[in-house]
Structure 1
């Protein structure tokens, strides 16, 4: 491809042969906002904070079809650990983590984290990969900008190069630690794990909850009656459920003293004098 080195891991682009790239229509910005942006850009150019780079127009319009991986290692008083998060094309997150039970430096832990992530990706058949990490040592060595003379790191670097050859396309990019906090938590948790014989930790599953935890305890009533039916029935008719024991009746009487009925609605008196409307499962779901 003219102007691009197809084997340079710093500039790999995902594209489909035979499908011509499409140029995206130029967006429009308000004139007053454009002027402010231009002034800020010129200031950055003047002080040398940014520079102008020339690329083919279609480069910015390429849609990536690569998996992503974020890795990190941790060494602290509790021990050492590694962690990596792989994100598939459909946004699914695959987590791998390991506790290191041998003495190591932080650089070794970073290499271990990157390697276990690459190994997992290879087993899953990932062909195109974008790797992100906050270890400048690993990233810059892998892209060929740095070279290490540390005898402990040379075997790691050589093995990492072997794993890289297993992918059709792969790139390594530096990511500031402030943008890698979630991945940083994995090796920290792994390092704190107390190792015992036969210990096996199940995969971490993180659920996304759209509702408050205490609101989820309201479930569908099996008998078709709301949870407050007996309280409301006692207040309106002074009746107890059939088959109730003296203890049950005493409890209902005590509970009823905290509620009152207005029309067809039941309210609970709170300690701060706010009236709480009692709802059934269907109403709770509709409100939430």
Structure 2
């Protein structure tokens, strides 16, 4: 993999002995928001718990559309393997959507640092994942990897946790969930009817229609 094909930056507070890069005066929020018009953003995460293992990733288009992907892992794996699976899942989805420019964010320091070449991949179980991820990286015109804290990776974390806990049959495909933002309690949005059987706004509606 050429050094030009992958760029990575690790936030200063992740490793105390890593000095702040010269000229890097932007906060993590700023760096996430400073994206070229044709650049997509991806967040990924893996989860391993008593219920099982799962992966989650969300692709965000330049206009803000969110495309979540998740997978239930039906084989024994470690946390690091789940993280690699999640990153690869997201990259495969991006390639399938013909994304050419991508900024990748994840809360696994190991995956990020191994991908950008700052850490060597020594675990024999992770080497095939690392090699395959490098192949996927070559499919992009421009791609970068950056670490962010887990608390900033809630969407992908929620997808990974959900997929790990669900007991799904093999071959079952679950459609993406639609998440709405409600600003009022459900009972405040109910439409009540008057004794005559007509809604309370009936007279107002008739007046407006005149």
Category of TM-score, reference length = shorter chain: 0.7 to 0.9
TM-aligned CA deviation for residue 128 of structure 1? 0.4
Work out which of the residue numbers 117, 120, 125 in structure 1 matches 2:93: 120
Alpha-carbon spacing, 1:51–1:105, altered in 2? closer, same or farther (3 Å): closer
TM-aligned CA deviation for residue 201 of structure 1? 1.3
Residue in structure 2 matched with residue 91 of structure 1 by the alignment: 64
CA distance in structure 2 between the aligned counterparts of 1:187 and 1:136, rounded to whole angstroms: 17
Conserved 8 A contact 2:108-2:147: yes
- Secondary structure of the 1:89 match is coil
RMSD: 3.0
CA distance in structure 2 between the aligned counterparts of 1:162 and 1:64, rounded to whole angstroms: 24
Conserved 8 A contact 2:6-2:145: no
TM-aligned CA deviation for residue 134 of structure 1? 0.4
Alpha-carbon spacing, 1:209–1:124, altered in 2? closer, same or farther (3 Å): same
- Secondary structure of the 1:149 match is coil
Conserved 8 A contact 1:218-1:281: no
State TM-score, norm by structure 2: 0.78
1:119-268 matched pairs, under 5 angstroms = 119-218=92-191, 227-230=193-196
CA distance in structure 1 between the aligned counterparts of 2:21 and 2:70, rounded to whole angstroms: 40
CA distance in structure 2 between the aligned counterparts of 1:52 and 1:110, rounded to whole angstroms: 26
The superposition leaves residues 118-159 of structure 1 with CA deviations (integer Å, 9 ceiling, x where unpaired) of: 000000010100000000111001111001111100000000
Deviates more, 1:195-204 or 1:124-133: 195-204
The superposition leaves residues 27-59 of structure 1 with CA deviations (integer Å, 9 ceiling, x where unpaired) of: xxxxxxxxxxxxxxxxxxxxx99757248xxxx
TM-aligned CA deviation for residue 211 of structure 1? 4.0
Residue in structure 2 matched with residue 242 of structure 1 by the alignment: none
Work out which of the residue numbers 31, 49, 53 in structure 1 matches 2:22: 53
The superposition leaves residues 200-254 of structure 1 with CA deviations (integer Å, 9 ceiling, x where unpaired) of: 31221112334432233328xxxxxxx214389xxxxxxxxxxxxxxxxxxxxxx
- Secondary structure of the 1:230 match is coil
CA distance in structure 2 between the aligned counterparts of 1:104 and 1:206, rounded to whole angstroms: 30
Q: Over alpha carbons, which structure has the higher Rg?
A: 1
Structure 1: state its 5+ residue gaps: 12-47, 220-226, 233-277, 284-288
State TM-score, norm by structure 1: 0.58
- Secondary structure of the 1:228 match is coil
- Structure scoring higher RCO (CA < 8 A, sep ≥ 6) equals 2
TM-aligned CA deviation for residue 10 of structure 1? 2.8
CA distance in structure 1 between the aligned counterparts of 2:114 and 2:203, rounded to whole angstroms: 59
Q: After TM superposition, what 4+ stretches of structure 1 lie above 4 angstroms from structure 2?
A: 5-8, 48-52
